[in-house]
Amino acid sequence: MTPSPAQTLLGTLFPSSFSERPGRRPAQLAVEGILSTLVSTAVPVALGIEAAGFVSLFLVAAALSDRVRQLLDENRRDIWERKVGGWRANRTTATGILALFAGVFAGYTLVGYSLDEARIAAAFGFALRAAALGGENLLQRDFGNFASIFGHNISVLLVIALLSFVYRAYGTMLALAWNASVWALVITLLAMRAATASGLPAFASVALAVTALAPHLLLEGLAYITASLAFLFASKGLTTYPGDDPRLRSVLAASAVLTVAACAALAAAAAVEVVLAPLALSLL
């Protein structure tokens, strides 16, 4: 694929196609997510921009939205040209975007680990405010009940759906980068506080915390990605096909199914957060 002048420099440095080897494709996308996050955070920090962490979200989204568009183009070809089943094609697309999300999360985790609490608060105050973070550590964090968690996450899902519907690939990546940054920085900060309280090395505390919360994070990320795909497909369908076209009905039906699947995954994520996350963190 010939590099487009609209691509960022980072986009042109990454391989133009996805690896065909089993397991290599998600790893490739995750590494791209990590590198994009580190560079996109280092640039505004080096320039001394106020609220550099907030600016980094837009840079991450700009760097990775080309990859999202490439995944969406592959999805379109698989469904309409290669006649691949919808579930299989959408699963491949969702897995690719989930790998990008995991890479962004890992990148912001590394950023949080490399900064002290004062610098995290200065650059990423929005993340601490979004999580209503006080002075507690990870072992003292109240995860809430199912109803409150699910209700909050549904509101986040609606925001992500709206951004995906209006801004498509860029909106999807921006919303996912925001969510990944909040989780990564809050977990890292809480884990480092817990390390001080428990005597564990900071790196071990962060690694254990991420491992303990991984099932919940993956389920929640998958829910948001599925919802973003549903509304992105609906957005493209409504502007591509006339109202009486059977292809539009097919697209909207698939979007409805994906929305239901996203809500189910979000409910499962809330249950895991309430039940399993505190249990796993108790091992710290």
119-173 pLDDT, tens digit each: 888 889 888 888 777 666 666 666 678 898 899 999 999 999 999 999 999 999 9
Q: What pLDDT score was predicted for residue 13?
A: 76
For residue 130, the Cα-to-chain-centroid distance in whole angstroms is 16
CA nearest neighbour of 176 among 235, 226, 215: 226
Rounded to two decimals, the pTM is 0.90
Q: What pLDDT score was predicted for residue 4?
A: 60
Report the number of secondary-structure helices (H) and strands (E) in the chain. 9, 0
Q: Rounded to whole angstroms, how far apart are CA atoms 194 and 22?
A: 38
Q: What pLDDT score was predicted for residue 284?
A: 56
DSSP characters for 162-219? Answer: HHHHHHHHHHHHHHHHHHHHHHHHHHHHHHHHHHHHH---HHHHHHHHHHHHHHHHHH
Low-confidence ranges of the chain (pLDDT < 70): 1-7, 22, 134-143, 280-284
Q: Are 161 and 227 in contact (CB under 8 A)?
A: yes
Q: What pLDDT score was predicted for residue 26?
A: 93
CA nearest neighbour of 185 among 130, 247, 222: 130
Q: Rounded to whole angstroms, how far apart are CA atoms 180 and 103?
A: 9
Q: Where are the domains of the chain?
A: 9-281
Q: What pLDDT score was predicted for residue 145?
A: 83
Q: What pLDDT score was predicted for residue 15?
A: 81
Q: What pLDDT score was predicted for residue 122?
A: 87
Q: What pLDDT score was predicted for residue 135?
A: 64
HSE at residue 162, side-chain half, CA atoms within 13 A, is 6
Q: What pLDDT score was predicted for residue 160?
A: 95
Q: What pLDDT score was predicted for residue 118?
A: 87
Q: Rounded to whole angstroms, how far apart are CA atoms 204 and 113?
A: 11
Q: What pLDDT score was predicted for residue 50?
A: 84
Q: Are 56 and 224 in contact (CB under 8 A)?
A: no
